[in-house]
């Protein structure tokens, strides 16, 4: 599959930041950095920000942004693409690598071949039905997010299982004939036991991600405690959502970039936002049809979805990303990508804006809804 770099949800600067390249000089459309491949420390590596290509004037290596990542870690271009997308979405740090001769051990860990969409759906459905929702999580969904018990039931929110139950959960699913190998989140631990990746520090509300054909294709956790880097400035919010993935684990599988869909697959108008829970809430409050990427920049799945919607009669896409799209470059790039892909598939696209004191479309709609309720009571 040939992918044009214009379609990538990241730039060469994102890759450079991710690899923590030491940047020596900056120009309007280029930077010079130390070369992670030959170990040059004089800033001989040129990164062209317009073309998203690089070349080291010392060792002569060069190429596109995937090649940069791929050469540093000794992985294929397609693995590089997936790992960069995953890392940008979760905000996780790049694995350590040695300069000048790179070969991170994590990339030698065998990965499972991905299970089929039907198998993933069946396994996730069985796993979710074995889990419960804690009273605290139910209260959050009702009180803070404005959902009803019927809505909670309908969308299927659950709480992440305690970590000590992960092995049992995986084993029981396998014993009951469900495919666990190749399902995102499942892997073989250091003791050779099948397990699923839920940890104490990543506990929270599990949110099903449904594809447009209704299959459960992924799970997102709304973390009880956002993950913050100790070096983060206090105003930085930290990571609030994680997508279940076992990429990099023994016999693990990546989550890819699933797109959540809620509403009518033949709707004339489809709203696009980020985050499955946000889409579910906004759909409940407005009755409109929503698609949601797992992060503003995880737009890889939009192309296929928009092609489907366009064939199915959708005429207009309404981009409803968070209002920080005006100051958050990552959200802004994601929003631009929504427009680009909509136009590619012959659909009109417009941007929805609202009172910026409400960040997400769900917050805004919930505030409107509660104001209406108050007026009715008066
Ligand atoms: Zn070099």
Report how far ligand 1's centroid is from the alpha carbon of 24 (Å): 14
Report how far ligand 1's centroid is from the alpha carbon of 58 (Å): 5
Of 49-58, 91-100, 153-162, 343-352, least confident by mean pLDDT is 91-100
Q: What is the C-alpha to C-alpha distance for residues 377 and 364, in angstroms, rounded to an integer?
A: 20
Average pLDDT over residues 166-170: 97
**Bigger pLDDT: 321 vs 377:** 321
Domains of the chain: 5-97 (3.90.580.10), 117-243 (3.90.980.10), 259-377 (3.40.1360)
- Backbone φ and ψ for 161, nearest 5 degrees, come out as -75, 155
Of 96-110, 193-207, 304-318, least confident by mean pLDDT is 96-110
Spell out the long-range contacts of 220-228 with Cβ–Cβ below 8 A and sequence spacing 24 or more: 220/244, 220/275, 220/276, 220/277, 220/294, 221/160, 222/277, 225/201, 227/91, 227/201, 227/202
Report how far ligand 1's centroid is from the alpha carbon of 304 (Å): 38
Report how far ligand 1's centroid is from the alpha carbon of 35 (Å): 5
Tens digits of residue pLDDT in 54-108: 999 888 889 999 999 998 888 888 889 988 888 888 777 777 777 754 333 334 6
**Residue 119 CB: number of other CB atoms within 10 A?**
16
Report how far ligand 1's centroid is from the alpha carbon of 296 (Å): 33
pLDDT value of position 103: 34
Tens digits of residue pLDDT in 237-248: 778 999 999 988
Report how far ligand 1's centroid is from the alpha carbon of 77 (Å): 19
Q: Are 255 and 294 in contact (CB under 8 A)?
A: yes
pLDDT value of position 77: 87
Q: Which of 39, 33, 30 is nearest to 21 (CA)?
A: 33
Report how far ligand 1's centroid is from the alpha carbon of 360 (Å): 44
Q: Which of 40, 41, 65 is nearest to 53 (CA)?
A: 65
Report how far ligand 1's centroid is from the alpha carbon of 93 (Å): 23
Average pLDDT over residues 136-145: 96
Report how far ligand 1's centroid is from the alpha carbon of 161 (Å): 47
Of 4-8, 45-49, 113-117, 196-200, least confident by mean pLDDT is 4-8
Report how far ligand 1's centroid is from the alpha carbon of 16 (Å): 14
Token pair of 287 as six digits: 């009755």
Report how far ligand 1's centroid is from the alpha carbon of 186 (Å): 38
């Amino acid at each position: 599959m040939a992918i044009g770099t214009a379609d990538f949800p990241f730039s060469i600067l994102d890759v450079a930041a991710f690899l923590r390249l030491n940047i020596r000089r900056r120009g309007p459309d280029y930077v010079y950095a130390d070369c992670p491949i030959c170990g040059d420390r004089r800033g001989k590596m040129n990164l062209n920000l317009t073309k998203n290509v690089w070349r080291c004037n010392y060792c002569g290596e060069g190429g596109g942004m995937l090649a940069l990542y791929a050469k540093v870690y000794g992985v294929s271009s397609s693995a590089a693409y997936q790992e960069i997308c995953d890392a940008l979405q979760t905000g996780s740090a790049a694995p350590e690598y040695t300069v000048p001769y790179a070969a991170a051990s994590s990339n030698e860990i065998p990965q499972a071949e991905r299970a089929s969409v039907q198998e993933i759906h069946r396994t996730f459905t069985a796993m979710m039905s074995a889990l419960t929702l804690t009273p605290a999580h139910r209260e959050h969904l009702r009180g803070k997010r404005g959902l009803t018990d019927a809505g909670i039931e309908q969308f299927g929110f659950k709480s992440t299982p305690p970590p000590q139950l992960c092995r049992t959960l995986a084993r029981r699913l396998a014993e009951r004939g469900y495919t666990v190998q190749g399902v995102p989140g499942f892997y073989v631990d250091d003791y050779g036991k099948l397990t699923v990746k839920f940890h104490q520090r990543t506990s929270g509300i599990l949110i099903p991600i449904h594809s447009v054909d209704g299959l459960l294709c992924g799970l997102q956790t709304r973390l009880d405690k956002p993950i913050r880097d100790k070096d983060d400035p206090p105003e930085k919010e930290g990571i609030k959502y994680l997508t279940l993935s076992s990429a990099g684990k023994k016999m693990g599988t990546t989550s890819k970039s699933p797109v959540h869909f809620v509403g009518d697959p033949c709707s004339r108008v489809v709203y696009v936002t980020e985050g499955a829970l946000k889409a579910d809430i906004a759909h409940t409050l407005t009755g409109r049809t929503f698609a949601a990427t797992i992060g503003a920049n995880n737009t890889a799945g939009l192309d296929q979805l928009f092609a489907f919607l366009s064939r199915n009669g959708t005429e207009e896409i309404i981009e409803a990303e968070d209002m920080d799209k005006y100051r958050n470059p990552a959200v802004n790039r994601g929003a631009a990508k929504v427009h680009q892909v909509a136009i590619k598939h012959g659909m009109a696209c417009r941007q929805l804006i609202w009172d910026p004191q409400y960040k997400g479309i769900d917050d805004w709609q919930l505030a409107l809804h509660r104001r209406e309720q108050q007026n009715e009571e008066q």
